[in-house]
Amino acid sequence: AQTVTQSQPEMSVQEAETVTLSCTYDTSENNYYLFWYKQPPSRQMILVIRQEAYKQQNATENRFSVNFQKAAKSFSLKISDSQLGDTAMYFCAFLNYGGSQGNLIFGKGTKLSVKP
Amino acid sequence: DAGVIQSPRHEVTEMGQEVTLRCKPISGHDYLFWYRQTMMRGLELLIYFNNNVPIDDSGMPEDRFSAKMPNASFSTLKIQPSEPRDSAVYFCASRGTGSGNQPQHFGDGTRLSIL
């Protein structure tokens, strides 16, 4: 069974600085997708960024980028120029592509606080 | 475009009462998921549907929980009878088919409090 581990329950960063959130996963599959979701205090679940396992190039979305290390099964999220609005819970998630194409497996989340 | 719509946004009820949570997925999406989020257990998948058919309900905690999807635009999650330990935020999510990286789009959740 696939598992997703986020080893940092809480992190903080100063506004305008860069922060990296860690995520590791365990799978025997070769084709899969990885996601980072953001959950602000309003509790919405917002997709931040996605990565296809077959792509070597790391995904980027404006200030958000990932460092995808397939061999190490690592998928970290880097937030550059942190803003107060980035304060939220961040969840790493895994989707096995193939089979039932079913559900996301989520990590426990990292609570990020951006300080002025 | 309208996102996933859940109702109610908040529900407070007494133990033993029946609770019904509702979800309208994004039009055209053929996968629908129900999740429960608590501090202790994080986000847990309860059940998901594909083309209105339940595919995996192994996350449904017990017989008090049931979910239906009578058509492509509506799903319910019912708890009967409710217990205080059911208090949580319940999310509905949907996604389209095709490439497997179609992201799941989440509703705003229902915060359920059982007294």
Chain-centre distance for alpha carbon B66? 10
The answer to whether B42 contacts A109, with C-beta atoms less than 8 Å apart, is yes
What pLDDT score does B10 carry?
96
Mean pLDDT of chain B: 92
* A104 part of contact set with chain B, CB < 8 Å: yes
Mean pLDDT to the nearest integer, B80-95? 95
Kindly tell me if the per-residue pLDDT of A101 is higher than 70: no
Tell me: the pLDDT tens digits for A59-88?
999 999 999 999 999 999 999 999 999 999
Q: Which residues of B touch A92 (CB under 8 A)?
A: none
**Chain B contact set for A33 (CB, 8 A):** 100-101
Which of A23, A108, A101 is closest to B37 using CA atoms? A108
Distance, in angstroms, between A17 CA and closest chain B CA? 28
Predicted confidence (pLDDT) at residue B97 exceeds the cutoff of 80: no
Per-residue pLDDT at B12: 97
Which member of A52, A104, A106 has the closest CB to residue B42?
Answer: A106
* Average pLDDT of the segment spanning A12-24: 97
**Percent of chain B beyond pLDDT 70?**
96
The phi and psi torsions of B109 (rounded to 5 degrees) equal 85, 155
Question: In this complex, do A47 and B105 lie within 8 Å of one another by their Cβ atoms?
Answer: yes
At B98, is the secondary structure helix, strand, or coil?
coil
